[in-house]
Amino acid sequence: MLTGAADAVAAARRLVDAAERVTVLTGAGISTDSGLPDFRGPKGLWTRDPAAERASNIDVYVSDAEVRRSNWARRASGALWADVEPNRGHEALVQLEKRGKLRLLITQNVDGLHQRAGSDPERVVEIHGTTRKVQCLACDYRDDIEVALERVRAGEEDPGCPLCGWILKSATVSFGQSLDPVDLDRAERASTECDLFLAVGTTLAVSPINRTAAIAVHSGARLVIVNGEATEFDPLADVLVRASISEVLPAICGMAGTAGASGSRPRD
């Protein structure tokens, strides 16, 4: 198993070049270079704002109107998403798709940055949903979240569903809610069918989506993990890359103009 930065990047690139069907799983780490905080780190969203963590529990969200009002006010301010753009890590995965290698991109992130970078939405599974949409908890109503946020900015503190009047929330999967079974099935099938599984910016600690890495390995795929810290699945990995994702992923995926893209050795 390779872990030294330069050797690991080169080894990961060789595995990508040899692969025909790559399944990718991304986590919060790929978006930190875009300015988005993680959730539980020293400067994480929930560390700085415990109320936001409470709002992520579906039982609390439904039962406590004040939690909903605070959550809508925070979202309507736009502070969390101000000036957030995809980074070169997101762009690298677009390049992997353009090379015809990407089987499926599974993301634990709810920020929509993969699609904004140019990833085909049909090849992206947002396993934990998206903050870019709003949904009703009782009926099938779903729309762009800006529709609800404009209502909040106009004075509605806790906007209800325009169809049935029940509670609205962002179209994310909160604690206490189940994953979409269709999305989970797509993710698991892609993990079974790939010849390379690339885990990027995730500690692989969140169940059940973390098991896709094990499914891939047990189905015969190679495993590359690119993350700033250790993960629970490191012992299964063929290559571990511990480095800045936005710096090394372009070289791993074969973006033009990156170290290693034409056979040159990346620097430590």
Three-state SS sequence of 190-213: HHHHCCEEEEECCCCCCCCCCHHH
Calculate what percentage of the chain has a pLDDT beyond 90.
77
Q: What is the pLDDT of residue 111?
A: 93
Q: Alpha helices of the chain — where are they, by DSSP H?
A: 5-18, 45-48, 50-55, 58-63, 65-77, 88-98, 113-117, 145-153, 181-193, 211-218, 245-253
Identical fold at 5-36+86-128+179-253 and 45-83+130-172? Answer: no
State pLDDT tens for residues 96-153.
999 999 999 999 999 999 999 999 999 999 999 999 999 999 999 999 999 999 999 9
Query: Is 114 part of the annotated catalytic residue set?
Result: no
Q: What is the pLDDT of residue 42?
A: 55
Domain spanning 45-83+130-172: which superfamily?
A: SIR2/SIRT2 'Small Domain' (3.30.1600.10)
Q: What is the pLDDT of residue 45?
A: 60
**Among the options 90, 114, 128, 218, which is catalytic?**
128
Q: What is the pLDDT of residue 78?
A: 73
The residues spanned by each domain of the chain are 5-36+86-128+179-253, 45-83+130-172
Entry pTM: 0.88
Q: Which parts of the chain register pLDDT below 50?
A: 2-3, 260-268
Q: What is the pLDDT of residue 79?
A: 53
Question: What CATH number has the domain spanning 5-36+86-128+179-253?
Answer: 3.40.50.1220
Q: Do 76 and 188 contact (CB within 8 A), yes or no? A: no
Q: Do 205 and 231 contact (CB within 8 A), yes or no? A: yes
